[in-house]
Chains A and B, each alone.
Chain A
Amino acid sequence: MADKVGSVLVIGGGIGGIQTSLDLVESGLKVYLLERTHSIGGVMAQLDKTFPTNDCAMCTISPKLVECGQNLNIEIITNAELGSVAGKAGNFEVEIVKHARYIDDAKCTGCGVCAKSCPIDAIDEYNYGLCERRATYIRYPQAVPRAFGIDKDKCIGCGLCESLCLRDAVIYGDKEQVKKINVGSIILSTGFESFDPALKQDYGYGEYPNVVSSFEFERILSASGPYKGHIFRASDAKMPEKIAWIQCVGSRDRGVERPFCSSVCCTYAVKQAIIAKEHIREGLDTTIFYMDMRTYGKGFEQYFNRAKNEHGVRFVCSRIHTVDPGSDGNLKLVFSDDDGQLREEEFDMLVLSVGFKPTKNVEEFANRLGIKLNEYGFCKTSTFSPIETSRAGVYVAGAAQEPKDIPATVMEASGAAACAEALLAEAKGSQIVKKEYPPEKDVSGLKPRIGVFVCKCGINIAGVVDVPAVTEYAATLPDVAYAEYNLYTCSQDTQVRIKEIIEEKQLNRVIVASCTPRTHEPLFQDTIRLAGLNKYLFEMANVRDQCSWVHASNPEAATEKAKELIRMAVGRAAFLEPLHTIPMSVIRRALVIGGGVAGMNASLSLANQGFEVELVEHEPELGGNIRHIHFTLEGDKPQEYLNSLIEQVQAHKLISVHLESQVKKVSGHVGHFESEVRSKKLEVRKIEHGVVIVATGGVESKPIEYLYGKDDRVITQRELEEHLANSQSTIRNPHSVVMIQCVGSRNEERPYCSRICCTQAVKNALKLKEQNPDTQIYILYRDMRTYGFREEYYYQARKAGVIFIRYDEQAKPVVSNNGRLKVEVKDPILGADVVLQPDMVVLSVAIDSHLENENLAPLLKVTLDASKFFLEAHMKLRPVDFGSDGMFLCGLAHSPKLIEESIAQAQAAAGRAATILNKERVEAGGVVSCVEEKKCVACLTCIRMCPYDVPFINKAGVAEIEAVKCHGCGICASECPAKAIQLLHYRDPQVVAKVDAMFG
C-alpha cells in the first residue's frame, strides 16, 4: 500500500471548508481548498448579520478569509470542480477540473479597472439577481482571492479589459485545466442551496415583485447589498412599513418534496425582523407566520424572547395558505389568529423563509466520490459517526450533511479535521512549508512615524461617523506620517496596501481605526509583520463596536468620539516598543475532564492522532448520560455503542482513565498546564498537559411541578425510556399517556430551550406505539422542535395517531389526582379546555448544567453563561474554544444537545486541541511583566500579590519574573511600590499617554 499522503482535499470554500482548512494546516496537513465559484466565503459571506449576537457576518468571516488567503499551506483552487477520485483512505488520486477564469488570479491585483470598463451587464448572483454586475467581475468586495474573472457567457470579447489591464492578467484564450493531486483524505463542505420559492406557487414569488426570498432579503439588509443597506420594495422603491415573514417555505412540506425541517429559518427570521426594525427607524411592523418556532440553539430562545418582548416583533402561529395581491403593490394574507378566528391583513412586503436543499447534481457528485446519500439527497452519516461518510477517508461537515447553522458547521469542520488528522497522523508535516517573514526592521531610536488607516466598514462606520473628516483629523496628530481611509480595512487588498504604504512612507507604527482588536488585531499584526514591523508596533481604535454602532443616533458625537479614540491610539502608539516571544515546548498530552460520550470521543480522537490523554471522570464508571439512553429514533443501539466506546478507550494505550477523580487544581498555560487530580481515596496525581478539554456534561433536572415526586404515575422521559427498555418493568404498557413538553425549560428560571426533549418525546411515543398501537398518546407542547431530519419522526408519530396539543406558557396544563390522574389543558385552536385522564404523565424535563461546572470554572478561569453552561470564546466561529488559549469544551458542558451533536463537538474539540498539541513549541512571552532590577527593593509585594506565584527573589536579591510563566495580568506592576515592574506593551507611559491624549 502506498504511503499516506500528508494533505487533504477540502471541497467547498464556505465557512465549514475555511475552518477545516485552517485547523488542518495548524495540525500539519497541507490543504487543497476547492471552490466552485470565483472566491471562497460561501453563504456566510452573503449574510448580513448572524444570530443570536447580531454580529456582522462579513466582519467575523473576513479575518478567516484573509487567513486562508495568506496561509502558505492552503492552496485555494477556485472556479473548479471535482473530477475523478481513485485510491483509498490515506492516498486518494484526485482529478480537479479547473474551469477557465479568463483572468490570471496570480497576476490580478484586484484593482477593478477591467470591471469598470466592461460594457456588459450581467445578473449578480452574489446578490441573488437583485442587481447587476459586469461581465468582468469579482463576487464581492472582500472576496478571497482578490481577483476578477470573466463571465464568458456574457462577454462579447470587445477586448477593452485586456487592453486596459496593466498586469496583462486577462487571458481570453484561457482553457479548462485538469490537475491531478494526491491527497490522504477528502472533506466535503459543499453546503446547500436554498429552495426555489417559485416552486411554492401559492406564495406569488416571481409573480408579485414585493415577495422576496429570505436569502434575497439578507442581501437587501446588507450594507454592501443591492440597496446599500436600505430596505426598499421592488415595485415602487418605497420603504416598507409592514413586513411579514412566512416560515417553512420549502421545509416541512411534503407537497414540494421537502419533508424535513431546515433548522435555521426560525432563528434567521427572528434576526431579519430585528435587523429590519433597526434599519427602518421610522417604525416598522414585523410579523412572522410560523408553524413551530424552532429556536432551539444556544442562546436562541432568549433571542426569540427579546425579539418578541423588546423589539416588538409579532409572532403568529399560522400556516399561510395563499398570498393574494392587495392594494398598491401590497400582499394580502389570510390567517387564523391566536383566538382561532380567520383574519385578513395586508403587508407592504413579504419575505419567504426558504429552506435548504441539497446542492445541484449532488447524486452525480456523490457517485464520483463514491459516497452514499440519504433519502433527502444529503450526505449519509450515522448517529455515532456524524462526520464520517460511507467511504473511508471521506468526511463531511456542515449543511451537506443536514441543514444546520454556522456554529454546528464550524464544529463539524473542526471535527472533520480531527478525523483526517487521525487518519493521516504519521504523514503530518510532510507537505507543510513554513511562513517566512521578512527580517524585522530595527525601529529603536527612530522618531515615531505613525500610519493611520480608518475603516469605513462599508457603512457600518461610515454611515454614522464622518470617516473622511476623521482621517483628515488623524493626519494632523503628532507623529502621524500618513492617514487614509478604506472601504474595508480588513480586506486582502488593503493588507497589501498597508504593506506598501509602510514601505513607501517609512512607517514604524501602524494604527487601524475600525472594529475590535478582539477579532481583528491578529490580522493587522500579521500584515505589519509582513512589512518587517514587529507586531507590537500596532494599535487599534475601536470606532465601530464602541462608537458607530452605539452612537448611531448621534453622528456628530460619534465623529468626535472617533477622533478622540484615534487621538488616544496615536498617543499610545508613539510609546509602543517591539516585543519578542520565547519559544516554549509543548507537553503533547491532553487533560479531558468528563468521561461521557463527549469526553470519550474527544479522548479517542486525540489518542488516535498519537497524543496522550488523561481522562478524568468523577463517577465510578465511564458513560455519563448515555448510560440511560436505550434506543434512538434512527434505530441505533446506544448501549452497544457505549460498550464498544468504553472498550476502545480502556484498550487505547495512550489513554489513562481516572475514575472517581476530580480536577482540584489547574495552573500553567497553553502548551504546559500542571493540574492536580484527586481520587476518591484522596490520592493526588500531578499531571502535566498541553491542553484541556472540558466535557462535564449536563444533568436531567428534577421537576417540581405536575405532581412529580408526589404521584408515581408522573415520571420523566428518561424514566419512561428506562421502563421501555426494561422487559421486567410493570408499566411498559400504559393504556394512555400524556407527555408534557418544556417542563422547566423556556421559563424564567431556565430561559433556554433544552433542545432534545421534543425529539425524545417523539422517540418514546413512537416506541410506545410500536409496542402497542392502541396506546393513546397526547403530547402537550409549546413548539415541536424536531428540527432537521427529525421532522420525519414527528410526522410518523402523527401518522401513528399520537395527538399533539399546543399549549400556551401562560396557560400551562394542570395535573391533578382524584384517584385517577387528570390533565387539563386549554387547546388554543379549539379554544376549549381539554380534559385527559391518562394512566401516566411523562414530563419532558429541562437539562441543567452540571453542578461541577461552578467548581471547575474558577479553577480553569473560564466563564459560565447565565445558566451555568460553559461560555465559548465566540458563539459563531469559536464554538468549542474557550477564551483562554489551550482550553476547549464539548458536549452538554456547552449546552443541551443530541448524541450525534455531542460526538461531532467532541471531535471538534479534539481537532482544535490538536492544533496546539501538534506543535513542538508555542510562543510565550510578549505581554509579560518585567522587573527593572535597579529599582527593585525586594519588598516582596509582587510575590505576595501575583495570583500565580510567579515572581521570586533571585540570587541577586531582587524579584525575578519568568516570562514563560507570567500570565500578563499586570497586577504586580500596579502594586509594586518601587515602580520596578512594568507590564510590557502596557508600560505606564504607554497607558498614561493614552489617557493624556484623550484630553488633547
Chain B
Amino acid sequence: MTEHFEPEIVAFCCHYCAYGAADLAGSMRLNYPANVKIVKLPCTGKVDIIYLLKAFEDGADGAYVAGCLEGNCHFIDGNIKAKRRVARAKKLLDEIGIGGERLEMFNMSASMGPRFAEVAREMTERVRGLGPSPLRK
C-alpha cells in the first residue's frame, strides 16, 4: 500500500506571498509532485484552526500553511498568528492519534518559487513516509 501511496495534501496559502511563490514556481517550470492542492486565503491569519482540522477530517494525509516570511506579513503578523494556531492544531492531531507531523507551517516570499516547489516535495515525501492518514486506513 505504502509503495504506491499518493498522499492528498492541502496547502493553505496566503495571497501575497505563498500563492505568488506557487505561481512563480509555475513560471519557472519547477516540477513538484501533484499531490499538493492550494486553498488561497488573503492571509495565513485567516487560516482558522477548524480549516486545518476539517482538512484531516475530510481525509487529508497532510496539510500545511504557507505564509509570508516572518516580519514580512502583508497584514503585519497574520503569519505569526497562523503559526500559533498550527502549533495548537499539531498538538490536537497528536492527541487524536493522527500525528502532528502531518501538519506544518512554512514561510516564503513571493520571490521564492523554488522554495515553494521544495516545500511541496518535502511535505509530499514526509507524508508519503508516514503513510495514509489513520482516518483513511
**In the complex, which residue of chain B has the Cβ closest to the Cβ of A927?**
B42
List which B10-50 residues lie within 8 A (CB) of chain A.
Answer: 10, 15-17, 19-20, 22-34, 37-43, 45-50
Is A947 a contact partner of B76 (Cβ separation < 8 A)? yes
| B-chain residues with CB within 8 Å of residue A974 when the two chains form the complex | 45-49, 81, 85
Nearest 4 A/B pairs, CB to CB = A545-B26, A970-B46, A969-B75, A971-B45
Q: Does chain B have a CB within 8 A of A558?
A: yes
Is B71 a contact partner of A969 (Cβ separation < 8 A)? no
Q: What are 30 A-B contacts with C-beta separation under 8 Å? A: A54-B27, A516-B26, A518-B20, A518-B23, A545-B22, A546-B26, A549-B26, A550-B29, A550-B31, A554-B34, A561-B34, A565-B37, A568-B39, A858-B72, A858-B76, A861-B73, A861-B76, A863-B110, A884-B74, A947-B75, A970-B46, A970-B78, A973-B46, A983-B46, A986-B41, A992-B50, A994-B39, A995-B10, A996-B58, A998-B10
Q: How far is the CA of A549 from the CA of B42 in the complex (A)?
A: 23
> B-facing mask of A268-296, CB < 8 A → 1, else 0?
00000000001000000000000000000
Q: Does chain B have a CB within 8 A of A828?
A: no
Q: How far is the CA of A801 from the CA of B17 in the complex (A)?
A: 51
Is A970 a contact partner of B45 (Cβ separation < 8 A)? yes
> B-facing mask of A867-909, CB < 8 A → 1, else 0?
0000100000000000110000000000000000000000000
| A-chain residues with CB within 8 Å of residue B20 when the two chains form the complex | 518
A interface, CB within 8 angstroms of B = 53-56, 278, 516-518, 542, 544-547, 549-554, 557-558, 560-561, 564-565, 568, 857-858, 861, 863-866, 871, 883-884, 927, 945, 947-948, 967-971, 973-975, 983, 986, 988, 991-992, 994-996, 998-999
Is B27 a contact partner of A53 (Cβ separation < 8 A)? yes
| B-chain residues with CB within 8 Å of residue A561 when the two chains form the complex | 34, 37
Most A C-beta atoms less than 10 A away, residue of B27, B41, B55: B27
What is the minimal beta-carbon distance from B128 to any residue of chain A, in angstroms? Answer: 14
Is B16 a contact partner of A883 (Cβ separation < 8 A)? yes
Most B C-beta atoms less than 10 A away, residue of A560, A864, A999: A999
Is B58 a contact partner of A999 (Cβ separation < 8 A)? yes
Is B42 a contact partner of A998 (Cβ separation < 8 A)? no
Q: How far is the CA of A278 from the CA of B29 in the complex (A)?
A: 9
Q: How far is the CA of A120 from the CA of B3 in the complex (A)?
A: 59
What is the minimal beta-carbon distance from A567 to any residue of chain B, in angstroms? Answer: 10
Given A863-B110, A999-B59: 17 more A-B contacts, CB < 8 Å: A518-B20, A546-B26, A550-B30, A551-B31, A552-B29, A553-B31, A861-B74, A863-B72, A883-B74, A884-B74, A968-B42, A970-B78, A974-B47, A974-B85, A991-B39, A992-B51, A998-B39
Is A991 a contact partner of B51 (Cβ separation < 8 A)? yes
| B-chain residues with CB within 8 Å of residue A988 when the two chains form the complex | 48, 50-51
Q: Does chain A have a CB within 8 A of B54?
A: yes
What is the minimal beta-carbon distance from A975 to any residue of chain B, in angstroms? Answer: 7
What is the minimal beta-carbon distance from B85 to any residue of chain A, in angstroms? Answer: 7
What is the minimal beta-carbon distance from B133 to any residue of chain A, in angstroms? Answer: 11
Query: Which residue from B48, B60, B72 sits with its C-beta under 8 Å from A857?
Result: B72
Q: How far is the CA of A163 from the CA of B40 in the complex (A)?
A: 51
| A-chain residues with CB within 8 Å of residue B110 when the two chains form the complex | 863, 871, 883
Q: How far is the CA of A998 from the CA of B38 in the complex (A)?
A: 10
| B-chain residues with CB within 8 Å of residue A991 when the two chains form the complex | 39, 41, 48, 51
| B-chain residues with CB within 8 Å of residue A55 when the two chains form the complex | 27
Q: Does chain A have a CB within 8 A of B77?
A: yes
What is the minimal beta-carbon distance from B95 to any residue of chain A, in angstroms? Answer: 20
Q: Does chain A have a CB within 8 A of B107?
A: no
What is the minimal beta-carbon distance from B36 to any residue of chain A, in angstroms? Answer: 9
| A-chain residues with CB within 8 Å of residue B42 when the two chains form the complex | 927, 968-970, 983, 986
Q: How far is the CA of A991 from the CA of B39 in the complex (A)?
A: 8
Is B22 a contact partner of A546 (Cβ separation < 8 A)? yes
Is B78 a contact partner of A550 (Cβ separation < 8 A)? no
| B-chain residues with CB within 8 Å of residue A927 when the two chains form the complex | 42
Q: Does chain A have a CB within 8 A of B117?
A: yes
Q: How far is the CA of A488 from the CA of B67 in the complex (A)?
A: 31
| B-chain residues with CB within 8 Å of residue A883 when the two chains form the complex | 16, 74, 110
Query: Which residue from A544, A545, A560, A969 sits with its C-beta under 8 Å from B43?
Result: A969
Q: How far is the CA of A968 from the CA of B42 in the complex (A)?
A: 7
Is B46 a contact partner of A969 (Cβ separation < 8 A)? yes
Known contacts A551-B34, A871-B111, A988-B50, A999 near B28 by CB under 8 Å: no
What is the minimal beta-carbon distance from B132 to any residue of chain A, in angstroms? Answer: 13
Q: How far is the CA of A992 from the CA of B29 in the complex (A)?
A: 30
